[in-house]
């Protein structure tokens, strides 16, 4: 079997790692792989967003399955192009990817389908957005409607912050085209869950829920990032909560998308808020999350490849499920100094011998290999994932592993999973 992975970040490294375990004899290819992926696959020197070139390459090289990692190629219509050539591909079409590519579309879809979410208003005019903020007050949430690499949502605790946010998006175009339309919504209180569902457009297989840590500083302080770490499972995510999520979120959303002529086949990621009045959707993504994938897949005790191939080939997931191994997984992101603001690239990375083991894996994100040496090439550089019998064991091993990563300016959060620790005690 010949498998192409589109993308080259931490999420794609985790997908490659898992799929290689599911199919050790398969041939793997990846677009411009990072320093950790490169030894595990054959490089394809085509940009992930070059849809036309990739579809031609995949056809010429008889690729049996293409798995698309990032949102940008999905929003650009990579699945539509592959399907037009009869190439099996896992991911949603361009129309279906709007559930992430346009927060305004997503919110309208949820409203029509009766999916619980925050009350919201959409603006393209700065003056109108400013007036709305003044009327509503704070706390309030301001989001760029388009794709903003996970950084387009600003939780504003006072009116001044909210006005700054709408001005930076609609006035200064901080997020470019992604911020020409903004969604302003009510602030929801509660704890968040990241829930992945592999779906054939009708049926879904829900994977183990996880919790991401978006803020750069410990105790969830500071600026938003693409994610500084994650853990799974989350003790709050009881079987009853998961069944509620299926019934009130996934099933009606899939039905609404099918009715809208945009059936969603791929990985539907729901960011959920567990509020005092029940589950509410924070947002949807049209692909695996990063860094959540780096804890969800190491806990998956059944074949991911089987699920992805079934969807890509037009099969049904009715009656299917995913087994989860016992224990817990924690990943700690090691980032470049200055991130999520400006940072320098090209810092040599030193990973000590023996760092990785059966229960500790270093997933590369912003790395590149040059002349046999490893260098930083992004803000989030590595994700150190540990699996343990307990959450406390996994968290300690992940932190200890992150502390052994050495490059100039490296930093990480030492409190990944702090809510779980507080909830269940240090020996949880």
Could you read off the pLDDT of 279-314 as tens digits, one per residue? 999 999 999 999 999 999 999 999 999 999 999 999
Residue-number span of the structural domain to which 415 is assigned = 328-424
pLDDT surpasses 80 at 425:
no
**Are 198 and 282 members of one domain?**
yes
Q: How far apart are CA 211 and CA 294, in angstroms?
A: 11
Q: Find out whether 91 and 267 touch, Cβ atoms under 8 Å.
A: yes
**Are 308 and 202 members of one domain?**
yes
Q: Find out whether 336 and 409 touch, Cβ atoms under 8 Å.
A: yes
Query: Helix (H) and strand (E) counts for the chain?
Result: 14, 23
**Are 291 and 371 members of one domain?**
no
Q: How far apart are CA 162 and CA 140, in angstroms?
A: 7
Tokens of 81: 């192009």
User: Is residue 343 classed exposed, middle or buried when 0-12, 13-18 and 19+ CB atoms within 10 A define those classes?
Assistant: middle
Whether 101 maps to a domain, the answer reads: no
Which long-range CB contacts under 8 A does 35-38 form with residues at least 24 apart? 35/349, 35/364, 35/367, 35/368, 35/369, 35/374, 35/375, 35/377, 36/362, 36/363, 36/364, 36/367, 36/382, 37/5, 37/8, 37/12, 37/13, 37/364, 38/369
Q: What is the CA radius of gyration of the chain?
A: 21
Residue 335: pLDDT band with limits 50, 70, 90: very high
CA 197, 200, 203: angle at the middle one, nearest 5? 70
Over the range 69-107, which residues count as b (16 or more CB within 10 Å of their CB) and which as e?
bbbbbbbbbbbbbbbeeebbbbbbbbbbbbbbbbbbbbb
What's the CATH number where 248 sits?
A: 3.30.470.20
What's the CATH number where 155 sits?
A: 3.30.1490.20
Whether 108 maps to a domain, the answer reads: no
Q: Which of 312, 346, 362 is the last residue of a domain?
A: 312
Q: Find out whether 31 and 8 touch, Cβ atoms under 8 Å.
A: yes
- What pLDDT sits at residue 304? 98
Q: Find out whether 69 and 34 touch, Cβ atoms under 8 Å.
A: no
**Are 173 and 212 members of one domain?**
no
What's the distance, Cα to Cα, between the start and end of the chain in Å? 41
Average of per-residue pLDDT across 127-156? 85
Residue 277: pLDDT band with limits 50, 70, 90: confident
Whether 396 maps to a domain, the answer reads: yes
Q: How far apart are CA 183 and CA 188, in angstroms?
A: 14
Whether 185 maps to a domain, the answer reads: no
Average of per-residue pLDDT across 37-49? 97
What's the CATH number where 68 sits?
A: 3.40.50.20
- What pLDDT sits at residue 174? 84
**Are 200 and 308 members of one domain?**
yes
**Are 143 and 247 members of one domain?**
no
Average of per-residue pLDDT across 117-122? 87
**Are 64 and 135 members of one domain?**
no
The whole-model pTM stands at 0.93
Average of per-residue pLDDT across 227-247? 97
Whether 119 maps to a domain, the answer reads: no
Report CA-CA distances (Å) from 90 to 146, 249, 308: 22, 22, 6
Whether 118 maps to a domain, the answer reads: no
Phi, psi of 143 (to 5 degrees): -130, 135
**Are 129 and 158 members of one domain?**
yes
Residue with tokens 């998308």, as numbered in its chain: 257
More confident residue, 316 or 180: 316
User: Is residue 47 classed exposed, middle or buried when 0-12, 13-18 and 19+ CB atoms within 10 A define those classes?
Assistant: middle
Residue 169: pLDDT band with limits 50, 70, 90: very high
**Are 153 and 205 members of one domain?**
no
Q: Find out whether 142 and 165 touch, Cβ atoms under 8 Å.
A: yes
**Are 156 and 234 members of one domain?**
no
**Are 136 and 209 members of one domain?**
no
Whether 102 maps to a domain, the answer reads: no
Q: Find out whether 203 and 265 touch, Cβ atoms under 8 Å.
A: no
- What pLDDT sits at residue 262? 97
- What pLDDT sits at residue 426? 52
Q: How far apart are CA 38 and CA 93, in angstroms?
A: 28
Q: Which of 252, 280, 312 is the last residue of a domain?
A: 312
Whether 120 maps to a domain, the answer reads: no
**Are 160 and 260 members of one domain?**
no
Grouping H, G, I as helix, E, B as strand and the rest as coil, residue 400 is: helix
Q: Find out whether 6 and 54 touch, Cβ atoms under 8 Å.
A: yes
Q: How far apart are CA 219 and CA 275, in angstroms?
A: 20
More confident residue, 141 or 37: 37
- What pLDDT sits at residue 63? 98
Identify which of 392, 394, 428, 206 has the alpha carbon closest to the alpha carbon of residue 317. 206
Phi, psi of 137 (to 5 degrees): 80, -165
Number of domains in the chain: 4
- What pLDDT sits at residue 427? 46
Average of per-residue pLDDT across 28-41? 98
Residue with tokens 């699996």, as numbered in its chain: 387
């Amino acid at each position: 079997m010949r498998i192409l992975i589109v993308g080259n970040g931490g999420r794609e490294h985790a997908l490659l790692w898992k799929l290689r375990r599911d199919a050790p004899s398969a041939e793997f290819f990846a677009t411009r792989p990072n320093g950790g992926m490169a030894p595990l696959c054959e490089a394809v020197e085509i940009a992930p967003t070059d849809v036309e070139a990739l579809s031609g390459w995949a056809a010429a090289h008889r690729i049996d399955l293409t798995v698309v990692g990032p949102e940008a190629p999905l929003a650009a219509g990579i699945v539509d192009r592959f399907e037009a050539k009869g190439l099996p591909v896992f991911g949603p079409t361009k129309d279906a990817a709007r559930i992430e590519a346009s927060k305004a579309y997503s919110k309208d879809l949820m409203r029509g389908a009766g999916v619980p979410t925050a009350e919201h208003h959409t603006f393209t005019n700065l003056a109108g957005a400013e007036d709305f903020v003044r009327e509503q007050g704070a706390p309030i949430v301001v989001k760029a409607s388009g794709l903003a690499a996970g950084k387009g949502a600003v939780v504003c605790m006072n009116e001044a912050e909210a006005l700054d946010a709408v001005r930076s998006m609609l006035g200064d175009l901080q997020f470019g085209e992604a911020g020409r339309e903004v969604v302003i919504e009510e602030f929801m209180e509660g704890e968040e869950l990241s829930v992945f569902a592999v779906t054939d457009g009708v049926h879904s297989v829900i994977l183990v829920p996880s919790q991401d840590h978006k803020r750069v500083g410990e105790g969830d302080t500071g600026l938003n990032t693409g994610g500084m770490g994650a853990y799974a499972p989350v003790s709050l995510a009881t079987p009853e909560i998961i069944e509620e999520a299926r019934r009130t979120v996934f099933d009606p959303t899939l039905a609404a998308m099918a009715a809208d002529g945009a059936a969603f086949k791929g990985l539907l990621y729901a960011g959920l808020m567990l509020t005092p009045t029940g589950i509410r959707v924070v947002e949807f993504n049209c692909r695996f999350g990063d860094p959540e994938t780096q804890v969800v897949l190491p806990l998956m005790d059944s074949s991911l490849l089987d699920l992805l191939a079934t969807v890509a080939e037009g099969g049904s997931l009715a009656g299917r499920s995913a087994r989860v191994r016992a224990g817990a997984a924690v990943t700690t992101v090691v980032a470049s100094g200055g991130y999520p603001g400006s940072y320098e690239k090209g810092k040599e990375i030193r990973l000590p011998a023996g760092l990785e083991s059966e229960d500790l894996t270093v997933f590369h994100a912003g790395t590149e290999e040059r002349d046999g040496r490893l260098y930083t090439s992004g803000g989030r550089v590595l994700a150190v994932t540990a699996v343990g019998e307990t959450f406390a064991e996994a968290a300690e091993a992940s932190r200890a592993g992150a502390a052994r990563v050495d490059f100039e300016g490296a930093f990480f959060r030492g409190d990944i999973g702090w809510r779980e620790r507080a909830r269940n005690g240090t020996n949880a």
